[in-house]
Structure 1
Amino acid sequence: MSDTPAPQPDTSDESIDRDVPDLESLVGTWLTVPDAAELIGVPLSHVRQLIADREVLAARIGERRVAAIPAKFLDETGPRPELRGTFTVLADGGMDDDEIIAWLHTPDATLPVEGAPIDAILAGFKTEVRRRAQELAL
């Protein structure tokens, strides 16, 4: 037996982030809260409430860690209604907001359309994407 202590897991930021995709580049186009408010023509407080109500999800990105929403989560009229249920299914399966955003934007060649689950939802395949999301929770 050795008196050498067992190696401790590396808890530096580098090791924590190693398995998490770079959300900023994975998503591509983001809207800051002010940009989202301008796009849909509402006050900043309304966009913050949409985030709080989980109508859209946001992540902290960039060097300044500003809250931003993936651009595909909104159109000129507001949050895309077909996303809220998918957010709920994935959250119920144990994913946090960053993981949900990453899953929705990660390309998947097995989907009925080319691209990521978010692209399939926007192309009208919401049910197929939710079915896959539910399978993750099993």
Structure 2
Amino acid sequence: MVAIPAAPDVLAPDVEVIPLPDVAKLLGRSATRVHQMIRDGQLLALKRNAELGVPSAFFAGEGIVKGLPGTITLLRDAGYQEDEILRWLFTEDETLPGSPIENLRGDRGREVKRRAQAMGF
């Protein structure tokens, strides 16, 4: 069995993290499917209080925020590790304004992906 990749907890304590079993329920998928989604880079997991979880900001309704998997892929292809991607997604950027994850959740996903792509060059 392949281990589930998980970043150390690099997020602020007030960032809500959903345990993996609850992520499976939220998405209406099996736990093994959620594990595969993490391995495939559609989601990022982190370890908080000895438990694997996913930031709640990654979800909108019963699905994953539009553009998040593509953004993760762009950053991974640029050589960024999971903890660096998490930091970038949740760090405020006054030029956006707000954090990249807030902008993905809003209507500025194209700008976030453009910036993620530019970070690789």
| Structure with higher helix content | 1
| 1:98 alignment partner, one of 65, 74, 83 | 83
Change (3 A) 1:92 1:26: farther
TM-score normalised to structure 1 length = 0.73
Asked whether the 8 Å contact 1:26–1:106 carries over to 2, the reply is: no
Among residues 16, 21, 25, which one is paired with 1:38 in the alignment?
25
What residue in structure 1 maps to residue 58 of structure 2? 73
| C-alpha deviation, 1:49, in angstroms | 1.6
Residue 57 (structure 1) aligned to one of 44, 58, 61: 44
1:130 to 109, 113, 116: 113
Number of corresponding residues: 114
Task: Give the corresponding residue for 2:104.
Answer: 121
Structure 2, unpaired ranges of 5+: 1-7
Between the aligned partners of 1:106 and 1:58, the Cα distance in structure 2 is 17
Identity fraction in percent: 36
Distance 1:24 1:105 in 2: 7
Unaligned runs of 5+ in 1: 1-20
Supply the RMSD in Å over aligned alpha carbons: 2.0
Higher relative contact order (CA 8 A, sep 6+): 2
TM-score (norm 2): 0.82
